[in-house]
């Protein structure tokens, strides 16, 4: 499912400009443009807000699991095609290198498929803090995988 095309189709069929949608979501118009072109992808929380604007279910725009797995796949170095068992083993080694809190957050997101808001509620962290930890952990994971395949 192409998230950007879904957003554009809903926006156009509703007669909204990119600026009008951006205003309703309290974001910059350039961000809406990037979503629609595929240069950026809204997180599932934002997809929920977009769905609310158009009065549709969030699954009309994107599948939650697809978004979560896409985040994780961005960590695999370009051109690398690791067999599943090797990727699993590398991921297990990576998780053992993390601070226990960060490892739990990583697992809650990518194994249990929880949102940053849900993880925040469980850990006592703000969703923004959870997103930052996940972003930083993905960057470390990306580097870990680069070294693992060499």
pLDDT at res. 1: 59
Helix axes 84-97, 127-148, angle to 10 degrees: 120
The per-residue pLDDT for 133 is: 97
Between CA 22 and CA 90 the distance in angstroms is: 40
66-148 has which CATH code? Answer: 1.10.10
* pLDDT of the residue at 51: 93
pLDDT at 58: 84
Looking at residue 65, its pLDDT comes to 79
Confidence at residue 135, expressed as pLDDT on a 0 to 100 scale:
93
Contacts 24+ apart (CB under 8 A), 70-75: 70/41, 71/109, 71/110, 71/134, 71/138, 72/110, 72/138, 74/138, 74/142, 75/138, 75/141, 75/142, 75/145
Domain ranges of the chain: 3-62, 66-148
The pLDDT of residue 16 is 97
Would you state the CATH architecture of domain 3-62?
Orthogonal Bundle (1.10)
pLDDT in tens, the chain (150 residues): 589 999 999 999 999 999 999 999 999 999 999 999 989 888 777 898 999 999 998 888 988 777 788 788 888 888 777 788 888 899 999 999 999 999 999 999 999 988 898 999 999 999 999 999 999 999 999 999 988 877
Number of CB atoms found within 10 A of residue 99's CB: 10
């Amino acid at each position: 499912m192409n998230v950007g095309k879904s957003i554009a189709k809903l926006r156009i069929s509703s007669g909204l400009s990119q600026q009008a949608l951006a205003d309703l979501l309290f974001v910059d118009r350039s961000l809406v443009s990037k979503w629609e072109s595929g240069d950026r992808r809204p997180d599932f929380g934002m997809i929920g807000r977009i769905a609310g604007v158009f009065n549709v279910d969030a699954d009309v725009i994107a599948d939650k699991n697809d978004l979560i797995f896409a985040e994780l796949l961005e960590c695999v170095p370009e051109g690398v095609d690791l067999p599943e068992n090797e990727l699993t083993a590398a991921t297990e080694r990576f998780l053992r290198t993390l601070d226990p809190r960060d490892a739990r957050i990583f697992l809650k997101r990518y194994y249990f498929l929880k949102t940053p808001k849900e993880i925040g509620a469980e850990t006592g962290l703000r969703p923004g803090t959870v997103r930052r930890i996940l972003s930083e952990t993905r960057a470390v994971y990306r580097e870990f995988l680069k070294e693992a395949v060499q």
